[in-house]
Amino acid sequence: MKTIIITGASNGIGRAIAKALRKKYKIINIDVVKEDIKDVSFYSCDLSSRKELLETIKKIKEEHHTIYALINNAAIFTHKPLEEQTIKEWNKILNINLRAPYILSKKFAKRLKKSKGHIINISSTRAIMSEKGTEAYSASKGGISSLTHALANSLSKEIKVNSISPGWINTNKEYIPTKEDKEQHLSGRVGTTKDIVDAVKFLLENRGFITGSNLTIDGGMTKKMIYI
């Protein structure tokens, strides 16, 4: 079985991706929080710590000699007024959401080249649109989108590098979207984790002509003009 690394696979979108791919691939989950998923290997790592991340990468290389894909999914989000934001918070968000994907891509590049594999970065529609109080997260996702096409150039022709920009993906099974929630979308519904899983599967099967691209999975929300 081919090996795929997923960061932040203990919860949310990452967990859904891991569970969907585990029958076909050998899955490695790098996360700070351990949530047992059957047939998924777990490596504990605080992705905001460069030291911990480099140690984890070394351990994975010692135990797994081939890597087919790297899915940079882990991210943290804060939503608070600009005047209340701190540089410490800014650094932590950028370190997890942007620096870690860069380091992982760089350190696993040789193995991904050998397998002619994939890097899939989970970006966000917040890379191109924002709401107040989300400076660090939005900046990190804008960076991820740019990192994607830069890596696609640097790692061509052996590695396919693409990103996915989810919109509103409901990862809370207890939350039932309202009529108003659904009507915000051209699709008439809020997104589910399966929508992202389907996109990941599609990219993993792509034979190489799709690279440096971003798939926006948002039910059309970013294409809907709103007048108040």
Domain residue limits, the chain: 3-223
Is the pLDDT at 127 greater than 80? The verdict is: yes
Residue 67: phi and psi, rounded to 5, are -130, 130
Q: How does the average pLDDT of the chain come out, rounded?
A: 96
The encoded tokens of residue 228 equal 């108040």
pLDDT at 228: 67
Catalytic residue among 25, 137, 175, 227: 137
Tokens describing residue 136: 């660090």
pTM for the model: 0.96
In this model, does residue 124 exceed pLDDT 80?
yes
Distance in angstroms (rounded) separating the CA atoms of residues 32 and 45: 5
Alpha helices in the chain (DSSP H): 12-21, 50-63, 87-94, 100-107, 109-114, 135-154, 179-183, 193-205
pLDDT digits (tens, 9 = 90+) for 91-120: 999 999 999 999 999 999 999 999 999 999
Element (H, E) at 87: helix 87-94
Q: Does domain 3-223 have CATH number 3.30.110.60?
A: no
Q: Is the dihedral of CA 107, 108, 113, 114 positive or negative?
A: positive
Whether 68 is a known active-site residue: answer no
| Cβ neighbours of 68 (radius 10 Å) | 19
